[in-house]
A and B are shown apart, each in its own frame.
Chain A
Amino acid sequence: MERELIHDLAAAYALDALDDDERREFEEHLSRCEQCSERVQSLRDTAAALAYVPEGPAPPPALRERVLQRVHEQRRGNVVPLRRRIALPAAVSFAAAATAAAIVLAVWASSLSSSLDRKAAIARVLGDPAAAHIELGVSSRVVVGSSGEAVLVSRLAPAPAGKTYELWVITGGTPRPAGLFADGARSSPVLLRRRVASGARVGLSIERSGGAAKPTHILHVSRPVERR
């Protein structure tokens, strides 16, 4: 039945060409079927490319102001009834998201071999409401999740030719290498290859390509991380 359903409804769903009942039925199925979710995601990417075709005027500048004004008024926690009203469809897709997240979490192991694992870890850290945000110079910050997984978000310029940025986790005065990235903001966000314990600091240095075992040119060291 899966193949049939996919063939029957997935393309129309991706194009928003289902009526309300059909859409509900299909989303109900999506929340249970990992395979269909992936297929639909790919169809949606393609459908979204069609968004770039229409020509026309730029949006009025007042629209930007209005959107940002509304966003400001609706900072989470401020306007409960409104959020409640609109959150309903979001809740449906959130159920699907939660299922997917559970699967990703199950796959997660201590090794971060694949790019998928890394991306999932980054998503987890950045989405962690209890994460600690710590400035690292003016151009970067480190986000440390409750599990100690840490991500660097930065708008650094690319490292000079032949050089690389290197991250360090500093515990009890001893820096340990936590990953390399050369492309500055283009590499961002970067997942640290080492967990950050409470009380540890995070350092950023610039090294010869290939990295170093000990930092030679420290750019920044964070204040101690206080994990919540």
Chain B
Amino acid sequence: MKLGVIASGARRPASHDYCDFPDEALLALVGRDDELALAALYDRYGTVAYRLALRVVRDPSLAEDAVQEAFLTVWRTAGSFLAERAKPSTWILTLVHRRAVDLVRREERRRAVSLEQTELPEDPSGRATEEEIELLERRRVVQEALRQLPDEQRRALELAYYAGLTQSELADRLSVPLGTIKSRMFAGLGRLHELLADAGLEDPLPEL
């Protein structure tokens, strides 16, 4: 090979080989039974997925179940994903969230949920990888956007998303009419979308 632009050398492929692939390509490969591509997607989204699930179910072993089942669903249905026009990250995180919500509802663990930060064990590894730094930055932007929402909208979004409550339960919990809750969630998501778009985290209009 004359040019030095192509990585060469015969070796066993590893999920790290896929680290430059866009999500869409990884999902397409998963759709063709490529286990390494699934591993690469896990490496990309496993941490976010686990923390999200843990926040919703408040139980490490249930959180692991939610993540595992979500990624197995990714494995089984990646082939049908492509036509759905969703962002792969949205699709994966939606699967994780929905699974977590279903689990927590089934386990009826939501009764005493408070939105206060609970004590969670520290990350034992403690290293700041490149992914971790990107994650921190993303979190900062979303938190900042949430802070700019009117209190009642933010509270509606947080209770709905992190506590796994249904809209009817939310209305009960906050002692407001169901219609009010619906309006707060709708307006809150709309405003959040604008704020994230302003911050460059989200396209103003999803392209595909």
A interface list, Cβ under 8 A from B? 7-12, 14-19, 22, 37-38, 41-60, 63-64, 66-68, 70-72, 74-76, 83, 86-87, 90, 93-94, 96-98, 100-101, 104, 115-116, 119-120, 122-124, 126-127, 129, 133, 137-139, 153, 155-160, 184-186, 188-189, 206, 217, 219
A100 to B84, Cβ gap below 8 A? yes
What does DSSP make chain A's interface, helix, strand, loop or mixed? Answer: helix
Residue among A17, A18, A58 making CB contact with B50, cutoff 8 Å: A58
Residue among A19, A52, A87 making CB contact with B135, cutoff 8 Å: A52
A157 / chain B contacts, CB cutoff of 8 Å: 5-7
How many A-B residue pairs lie within 8 Å, measured between CB atoms? Answer: 279
B interface list, Cβ under 8 A from A? 1-3, 5-10, 17-18, 20-22, 24-25, 28-29, 31-33, 35, 38-39, 42-43, 46-52, 54-55, 64, 67-68, 71-73, 75-77, 79-87, 89-90, 93-94, 96-98, 101, 117, 120-125, 135, 138-139, 142-143, 145-146, 157-158, 160-162, 164-168, 170, 182, 185-186, 188-189, 192-193, 196, 201-202, 205-208
CA distance A56 to B157 in the complex (A): 20
B85 to A54, Cβ gap below 8 A? no
B164 to A16, Cβ gap below 8 A? yes
CA distance A158 to B3 in the complex (A): 12
Q: Considering the complex of A and B, which 7 residue pairs feature the smallest CB-CB distances, nearest first?
A: A126-B28, A101-B83, A59-B50, A54-B55, A185-B20, A123-B82, A17-B160
CA distance A127 to B196 in the complex (A): 31
A57 to B208, Cβ gap below 8 A? no
Can you list 26 A-B pairs with a CB-CB distance of less than 8 A? Answer: A11-B189, A12-B167, A16-B161, A17-B160, A17-B165, A22-B166, A45-B87, A45-B206, A49-B142, A50-B142, A52-B139, A53-B139, A54-B51, A57-B50, A57-B51, A58-B125, A59-B49, A59-B50, A64-B39, A68-B39, A71-B35, A98-B83, A155-B17, A156-B6, A188-B25, A217-B3
B101 / chain A contacts, CB cutoff of 8 Å: 16
A51 to B52, Cβ gap below 8 A? yes
Residue among B22, B24, B46, B97 making CB contact with A51, cutoff 8 Å: B97
